[in-house]
Structures are given as C-alpha cells and as structure tokens.
Structure 1
Amino acid sequence: MSASPSDAADITGALGAFSAELDIARAPAACLDKLKLCVLDAVACVVQGSTLPWSRTAAAVMTAQSAAGTARVFASNRTADTAAAAFANATAGHGFELDDIHKESILHPGSLAVPVALACAQSEPACGPDRFYSALLAGYETGCRVGSASAMPLFFRGFHPQGTAGAFVTGATAARFLGLSAEQTRHTFGIAGSLGAGLMASQEGAMVKRAHAGWAAYAGVLGARLAGSGFTGIRNVVEAEYGGFLSAHGGVDADRSVRDLGQTWETLAVGHKPYASVTSIHAALDGVRRTLAASGAAPGDIERLRIGVSAMTLAHCAWPYQSQSATAAQMNIYFCVASLVLYGDVFLRAFLPDRLADPAILAFMERIEVCIDDTIEQGGPPLRHGARVTLAAHGKTYVHEELHRRGSPENPMGTSALREKFHRVLGEVLAADLVEELGAAILASDSERGWRDMLRALDAAAAMAAARPTVDI
C-alpha cells in the first residue's frame, strides 16, 4: 500500500487499521524470531538499568504517585499501575545506551515497546504470548515507520526521536494489547503523538534523556486508555498540514509511514549494540579496533587518529567533551574512542566516575580529529553510521572504512552474540543461574510454558536487581 500527502491520504487511519489488525501468527516467522531476540536484549537493558540512580529515582516517584496495580517495577520490586510501571521500566531500559536501534527512525524500540507490553501483560495475568508478541509487532512496525518519515529533520531541530516518535511505538503497542479498534487506535496515535516530547540538549549530561523513553511509554499507555474510553485525539496526527507530527518536526516524506505496509517489515531492520554508547559512533569504534590490530600500535605509538563520519554523527557526537556525567561520555566520540584505545572496551565499566575525568583519556583526546567524510555523507541514510578511520603510527598510515557497524542488520549480532551480551550485561546484577534461566525462558516465550517461565523469572530478576545497591555513576 502507498499514500502521499498530495492525494490527501489518510495516513493516520491507514496506520491505525494496520496496527489494530497485526497478528504475530500471520506475520513472517522471521518477525517472531527477531522479536524474541529484541525482548532478550531489552530485558537485559531494563534489569541492568534498574540499578542506576536515575532509574531508582524514577521508580520511587512513579510508584509513590501510582494507583494500585500488578505491573512490576524492576528498580524497586514494587508493583504499580500499568502506565507508572511502563514509565519506570522504559526509563531503566534506555538508562545506559545499550538498547536496540532502528537506524532510519533513530528509535530504540526495545526500551519503548517491551516495557509497555510487559506492564500490560503483568496487569492482565491471563494474557498469553500471542497477544504479547502481536502488541510488540504493532509497536515496532508502526512507530519505526512514523519515525523514519521524520527522523533527520526532527533530529536537526533538536528533538529526541525516542521521546517524540517513540510515542507512536508505545501507543501502537498498548492499543494492540488492549484490543482497540482501528478507529480507537487512530485516536491513540492522535493523543500519544500530541503528548510525546524530548529535547536533544539532554544528551550533554541530563538524567532526563533517560526519561524520554519513560514519558513516551506513559503517553502511549495513557493514550490507549483514553482512546479506549472514547476520548479523541488528532485524527490526522501524522499528516496534518499544520501542527501534525510530520509538519511540526519538518518531516517531508509522509509516504514513508505507509509504504509497503505488510510487505516490508521494519522489525527486521532493527539492530543491536555491542558497545554501551550512542550507536552513531559504533562504526568508528569498530574501525579503530581494526586499525589498531593492523598496525600493532600501542596507545603511546599513535600520532593521530582521524575519523571521518556523516554530518549527523558529527553534530550528534563530536562536541567538545567535558567531564560531567556518564551520559555525556557515552554520547561523545572523543571520550569513547580514547577509552577504547587505552582500555580496550567501551562497556559498563568504561563510564564509572574515575574514568570520566581520567587524565590519560583527556590527554589522548588531543590526538583525535573528527570530520565529515564526503563519501559517507553522500551515501545518505544507509551510511549514516559509517566511519573511515585513519591511524598514524610508526611513520605509517593505516586506513579502515567501516560502513556498517557490528550489530547492524547488514552486519548483525546473531543469537549467540546476543546471548553473550545478555550474560555480560546481567552478570553483575543477577546470579548466574537466574541469568541462564531467564535467557532460556525468553527465547522460548512464544510457547505457553516458556511464557509462564519468563514471567516467573522476571519476578525473580526484579527482586534480585532491586536488592542491589544503587550503582555509583
């Protein structure tokens, strides 16, 4: 199916009908396989993220003001209303730059859809895996389409896709879980899309960046509840010429939202993160690894590192680093490259307080140059995360071009790599036997037995994670 603003297409209506009718049993089998891996990855992010100070604060505030409910809040192991739990757990899921990524939309759907679907499922104990995965499919498919139609103009205007376009991910997830009609789903989008918010200046150190996912989750659940009760939203919220989502954020390709509905599956275009940093610099990190290996250079041997990237990556990640927070460090290409060169990795321990102002890291940054690479920039959105790394050492120059980062759909992390990441992320939070039990249950959660096992293991994980001290970061 195709539509465009020029023929007055009802894009919001088409998305509402598509989302309301999505059924995981009728989707390609590859979608279910992918979504189970996305749940595996997202649960690790939520559980690990629940030990962080911003997640603990969000959980305390949301549970204190929540109505009674049965949805589990991982950071406190208390139960809360669906919307409050979704807020707290989505904040945790986006809490440490480990969540999945849909490149074109610049969305992390796992930290949006999975906390919403889990909170809904825990609020309705009779729910089964088909309903859960159909809701996830609706969120991934619908939200990533709207996000892709708006991504770059929205981003360059200073808005955070996770908090803005993310409301379509969560609205679709909640509406599909609740079994809303096509018209009610349309109004869910019209409400949630109007409530979504998030400013990119938060990336330079503010905790509120993490809460953009939380607020989008809250807006999606609230929007679905209101729409299900007859409350109306903006009927044409996606395509409205004045004050619609795309027009307000500068989106110019409304057709992208509905192109090839039911034929091209956005879920299959989701990638995963091997590093605990913003995705835009992962290809640069891969390239630095390759040039280090090719040169055999020790950190002291490196005379210069020149990294060519897209204009988007330059704007997003190449600002002058100041030691102010883990968030700022995770978003900064200079810090992350220096950390990789000096310490060999960019994962959880790279952002502890003693690293943020490490004199060796700060000094090495002076040897890093970041600039726009014309070839990568001319490649457009498909190469937006690419990098060309030039390392000078021993009087020689070593060059590596990494167009598709490890973990992208073009260069994927397979099941074994994602299981390894799952164990690595949760290894310091949960007991090893619980990590194994939870991972196995998630990968079998499309069956009734696996589904029940997953819910039991999630309750055990919440109890164990909440008992951990808050991470000093």
Structure 2
Amino acid sequence: MEGTHRGLTEELAAFAAGLRWEDVPGEVCEQAARQVLDGYGAMHAGSDRSWTKAARDYALKEGVPGRSSVIGIRHRLRAAQAAFVNATAMHGLELDDYHVSAAVHAGCAVVPTVLALGDELNVGSRAALTAISAGTETIIRLGLAMSPEMTQDRGFHVTSVFGVIGAAAAAISLLGLEERAAQHALGIAAAQAGGTTEFTRTGGEIKRIHAGLAASNGIRAANLAQLGLTAPLESLEGRRGFAQAFGGRRVSLDRVSRRLGDDWHLDGLGVKSWSTCTGNHAPIAALEKLRRQGLEPDDVASITVYTDKTTADHCGQLGAHVTDMTGAQFSLHISLAMRLVLGGNDPSHYAALEAANFAIPEVVRLASLIKIAVGEEEERSFTIAPSARVVVQRKQGQYMEAHAIAPGGPSQPFTWHDLQQKVHACADATVGPEEVDSVGRQIRSWLHDDIPVTGLLDQGTSRTTGNASTHA
C-alpha cells in the first residue's frame, strides 16, 4: 500500500473525539443539515418496504425498550437497534445521498446514528451537526483513498465497509470518548466491516440492510470502547488491518489524513432525484431529454449509453431480465426502459414493475435493445460531474442523442427549495405536508439555534405508512 501512515487510526480518533462546533465551517454544517433533511425524506419513503419491515420486526424482537425513535412506529428502542431500522429505511429505496469522487453513501450510515444517539443522549443540534460532519468526512476520506478500486477489484460494498467507520466516528463525537477510547472504537468498528456487491450480479435484497448494519455496529463499537474493550491501535493502517484487507495494494492512505480538520469534502455530496442507483441518474437525465423531444418506445431500434467505467461495471451487468427490486434499481437497462415505457423512476414506478413480477413485456423488450459502453469524456468527468451520452437509433434510421449530468450532484446542486420538494414527495404520504414543512424549518433552524434534536422521527407515526413517490 502506498502512503501508509502508522498513526492513521490515532489521527482519525483524535479528529472524531476532538472536533467541536466552532471547528466546523458554516458551509459544512449546512451540508450536514441538508443530509438530515434528505435522510428524513428517504427514511419515510422506505419505511414500509419489506426489508425495512423485516429489520423493524427483528429489532422489536431482539431489542429492548429505549429512548430512540424507530421510523414508522411509536415504539422506542436502544440507539443501536433504532439506527439499524432507520438506516435500512434510508438506504434501502435508493434515495440517499452520495459523494461523487469518493463513490460512497455517507448519510445513510451517519444520519440515523446521530438521530438515534441524539434521542438517547438528548443532544442539541450543534453537537448533532458536529457529529454528522465528523462521520461524513471520515467516510468520504476513506472513499477517496480506497474506492472505486475496492469495489471494482475486490467486490466489497462501500456503504457497509466505510459506513461503520463513519458511524463510529459520529458516535465517538456524541459520546465524548477520550482519544485512546476513540482509537479502540474505530478498531472495533473495523472488525465489523463487511458486505459485498454480488447483488449487482445475482440480485437479492441483502444490500438494503448494509447501512443498517453499519449504523448499528458503529454505535456498538463506540459503546464497547466506552466500556473498556480494546482493539489493535493500528486497526486501519496495520499490515493485517482494515485497509490491507479491503483495499489491497491500490490504497493511498495519505488521502485520509491529509489536512484532516482543515480541508473538508462535504461539498462533493449529491442528492438523488430518482429511486435508483447513483450511476443511472445521468443516463436517465439524458434519455429524459430525448423523451421530451418526442421519443416513444415504439420508435427505438437501439440505444447506446456512453458512461464511465464504474457505472458500466456496477449498473451495466444485470441486463434486461431481473427478478427482484435490487436488480431493477441497479440495472441501467431496466431503469432506462422504465423511463420511456412507464414515464419515470420514482418508487411508484418500481412498485408497478414489482407488481408485474418484473416482467412488463415492453420494458423487457426495450431494455434488451440497450447497449452500455465506456465513453472517454464520461470517464474523464466521472470524479467531477458524472455524465452520460445516450444515442438512439430510431426504426426509421434517424439518430437522436443527448448528453446530461446527474441532476442534484455537486455540479447541479439542489437548492433548499428543491430538497424540500423532494422530501414532500417522499414523506407527505406518511406524515403529511404540514409536518414535512415543519421539519424542514426545524432542521434549517439548527444552523443558528442550538436546540434538541430528539423526536425528529416521531412525527406522523400514527398514520398508515404507504408507498411514496419522488420526482424532485
């Protein structure tokens, strides 16, 4: 491994344990607050899905009563179990935030961790935003050092591998651990990292709980360290440690520690517009341009999508025939075909596909006409602004093409209004528009008032949870 630093675990521990509100730049705190609002919407949108119900039933069966809110119900559990459910809901429906150049999902592990511990510890918004900033920055820096190679070369999933370290960093911050205990907490978290991306090849819904495992294990790691459990002091950088196990030779750990606490990377966070894998968003946006120009499914003879290598590898393998929701949301072929045939990629559209046993004939037919290629321009722009070019050959012989950048990404960011509209689309069905507006105002007020964050997920739990649709 290049750039190995013997003190990396210690440096990250000191960062998480020592970060204070006054150390975090205002724009970073604002990004953290946006993560909370986006996560609030994503949790409600995913609160009634089968994987969230399974996680919730398990947590209720195995957990004990506590003070932390659980999405969709009035029962309260201890923080680790509540975070398991809430993170599963936030990540499971493919609506959670992402970071472009690090190729990670951070909010789905960190936000539920902080909200669950916020309930349990009765913390204020300044402490919460500080912890979110610490946890998110940790995940992003690990991603910059180790992904996408970690996924492409070795098949690990960034959310469950990096997420547990970031969740532990956030928990360290809220629990007020001393530096040495924090160092052990990161080591205990590293011992619980795992999860592969085989779901992008042969399906299955295990991916849905990867963020839940990361959040709950991060809290568990900090709690155990607080109780005195120890871990290797070089758990992350050691020759048999985290980076070697998950990243192998293609790791640059200097990117984790370089100007830690001075330079921040939350400005690279993106907000998803649609309920599908991040890599599919730019191609969908390009195809949508052609749809608005009058392209109809019956016009298509073939579609070629030029994208980056990571997207082609991650989303281009499942093809036109899928058997579960994971396959549908990760298949670039299916997601593009849905855009033309069903008119969208919101949860409601994927639910319609699911109701048809993933075999709507026109969707499958159109998906089989799609080819995925790596474009030079798209590969160059991947770490700055993910883009795609879609070329359609029509049955009459003419060609149409369009280029697009993923909307909601750092190069085309959502405003607060855009984000609020997305959250309305995600959460109105479960909590109502008035409460969505109230929560939005409350979270924005965190930027200038230090108020308790407890009970944010309690609102609307008496309503019947239903399918949500987002079309921000």
Specify whether residues 174 and 422 from structure 1 end up closer, same or farther in structure 2 by C-alpha distance, changes over 3 A only.
same
For residues 287-306 of structure 1, the aligned pairs below 5 Å read 287-293=286-292, 295-306=293-304
- The equivalent of 1:405 in structure 2 is 406
Equivalent runs, 1:41-440 vs 2, <5 Å = 41-125=38-122, 127-156=123-152, 157-203=154-200, 204-250=202-248, 251-293=250-292, 295-319=293-317, 320-352=319-351, 353-354=354-355, 356-379=358-381, 381-382=383-384, 385-393=386-394, 394-402=396-404, 404-440=405-441
Greater shift in the superposed pair: 275-284 or 301-310: 301-310
Report Cα offsets for 1:87-122 as digits up to 9, x if no partner: 111111111000000123322211111110011011
RMSD: 2.1
* 1:341 Cα offset (Å): 1.4
Q: What is the deviation of 1:380?
A: 5.9
- Residues paired across the two proteins, number: 460
Q: Is the 8 A contact 1:321 1:334 kept in 2?
A: yes
> Relative CO higher for 1 or 2, CA cutoff 8 Å, sep ≥ 6?
2
Does 426-435 or 169-178 show the bigger shift? 426-435
Q: 1:411 to 1:61 in 2, by over 3 A?
A: same
After superposition, what is the alpha-carbon deviation per residue over 1:107-146, rounded to whole angstroms, capped at 9, x for unaligned?
2211111110011011123x21111111111101112111
Change (3 A) 1:397 1:321: closer
Structure-2 change in CA distance of 1:381 and 1:446 (3 Å)? closer
Worse-superposed segment, 257-266 or 330-339: 257-266
Looking at structure 2, the residues matched to 191 and 456 of structure 1 have their Cα atoms a distance apart, in angstroms, of: 29
Alignment identity in percent? 26
Distance 1:14 1:202 in 2: 34
Instruction: For 2:65 and 2:440, locate their aligned partners in 1 and report how far apart those are by CA, in whole Å.
Output: 29
Q: Which one-letter code corresponds to 1:291 in the other structure?
A: L
CA distance in 2, matches of 1:317, 1:285: 12
1:267 deviates by: 1.6
Aligned to 1:429, the other structure's residue is in SS state: helix
Question: 1:216 & 1:102 partners in 2: Cα distance?
Answer: 17
* Cα offsets for 1:361-409 (capped at 9, x unmatched): 01111221111223333556436x321211223533233333x311111
Amino acid at match of 2:128: F
Displacement, 1:31?
1.0
Residues in 2 aligned to 1:398 and 1:94: alpha-carbon distance in whole angstroms: 35
1:189 is displaced (CA, Å) by: 1.1
| 1:17-56 correspondence to structure 2 within 5 Å | 17-56=14-53
Q: Is the 8 A contact 1:117 1:174 kept in 2?
A: yes
1:433–1:228 distance in 2 versus 1, CA, 3 Å? same
The residue matched to 2:232 in structure 1 has which SS? Answer: coil
Contact 1:51–1:470 (Cα < 8 Å) also in 2? yes
Looking at structure 1, the residues matched to 105 and 78 of structure 2 have their Cα atoms a distance apart, in angstroms, of: 23
Superposition TM-score, scaled by structure 1 size: 0.92
Cα deviation code 1:270-325 (max 9, x no counterpart)? 111001000011111111122333x4322222222110112211111112233311
* Distance in 2 between residues matched to 1:232 and 1:462, nearest whole Å: 39
Per the TM alignment, residue 424 of structure 1 is displaced from its structure 2 partner at its CA by 0.7
| Unmatched segments (≥5 aa) in structure 1 | none
Q: Which residue type is aligned with residue 147 of structure 2?
A: A
Amino acid at match of 1:326: M
| C-alpha separation in 2, matches of 1:105 and 1:312 | 12
2-side partners of 1:456 and 1:73: how far apart? Answer: 10
For residues 102 and 259 of structure 2, the distance between their equivalents in structure 1, rounded to whole angstroms, comes to: 16
Quote the offset at 1:4 in angstroms: 6.7
